[in-house]
Amino acid sequence: MAILSGIHPVAEALRAKRPLERILVAQGAGGPRMQEIIDMARRAAVPVRFEPRGALDRLAGSAAHQGVVAMGAANKYADFEAVVSSQLAALPLIVVLDGVEDPHNLGAIIRTAHAAGAGAMIIPERRAAGVTDVVAKAAAGALEYLPITRVTNINRALEELKEKGYWIYGLDERGTETYDQADYAAPTAFVLGGEGKGLHEQVRKHCDVLVRIPMAGKISSLNVSVAAGVVLFEWKRRVAARAMGPAESTTTIRA
């Protein structure tokens, strides 16, 4: 069972009408944002119980729950086939993570991908962070809106995305084009490597285009969530520019 904790994640889960089994509020906790959670829970017929703070500490695995813990939801992960199915193939952007291990980074990337307009995220089952409470917190509510699918084999997932018509872009320092020069074809799948390791050899070979971020200074890489922000918001900017008309899109893309 997934445990959500903290005012923001629980409020977002309620707003997104995510199925919750129960909400626990620490005895003595209050304030307008807590009251809003209690009101939303009542309207959604989610039972609210007031419990000693220690009970919430144990459930949340820490004392950083701000007085509220939610228990839910049946399934944290979306079905891969559903995500790439014809119905969802209209998604312009899927973000694929090749082994991001730090839960704060995973959460920040989920938040960033949602804000850049991604329709789904694909993560591997092994050697990677899964969707935990820490991830949900770092995602600041975005986990409620961005479907995450977990696959046993990233390379096979990329093959299936290609078959569905996705163009696979990988971020890699050996990229032949810079991220702002690439001509982003839609639908796009963007593959990002893990912390300090970049893309795995096999994953890199499955990419249609490798792009790199040109760096000033003496450090060769960015934090993976910062790199995600740089490339995904460039993708967003370019899609917006293209929507404004072909002439502009051409000058912007080829500038």
Binding site for a second copy (CB under 8 A): 12, 15-16, 104, 108, 111-112, 114-117, 138, 140-142, 144-146, 180, 213-219, 221-223, 225-230, 233-234, 236-237, 240-241, 244, 248, 251-252, 255
Q: 206 or 225: whose CB is closer to a second copy? A: 225
The length of the chain in residues reads: 255
Q: 132 or 252: whose CB is closer to a second copy? A: 252
For the CB of residue 145, give the shortest distance to a second copy in the complex, in Å.
Answer: 5
Q: 69 or 227: whose CB is closer to a second copy? A: 227
Name the residue with tokens 């989920």. 110
DSSP one-letter string for 148-200: EEEES-HHHHHHHHHHTT-EEEEE-TT-SEETTTS---SSEEEEEEBTTTBS-
Name the residue with tokens 């390791």. 197
For the CB of residue 49, give the shortest distance to a second copy in the complex, in Å.
Answer: 28
Helix (H) or strand (E) holding 106: helix 103-116
For the CB of residue 187, give the shortest distance to a second copy in the complex, in Å.
Answer: 15
For the CB of residue 33, give the shortest distance to a second copy in the complex, in Å.
Answer: 13
For the CB of residue 41, give the shortest distance to a second copy in the complex, in Å.
Answer: 19
Give the dihedral of Cα atoms 246, 248, 252, 255; nearest 10 deg.
100
Q: 11 or 25: whose CB is closer to a second copy? A: 11
How far, CA to CA in Å, does 158 sit from each of 31, 84, 92, 137, 187?
47, 11, 15, 28, 13
Work out whether the CA dihedral 107, 108, 109, 113 comes out positive or negative: positive
Q: 124 or 229: whose CB is closer to a second copy? A: 229
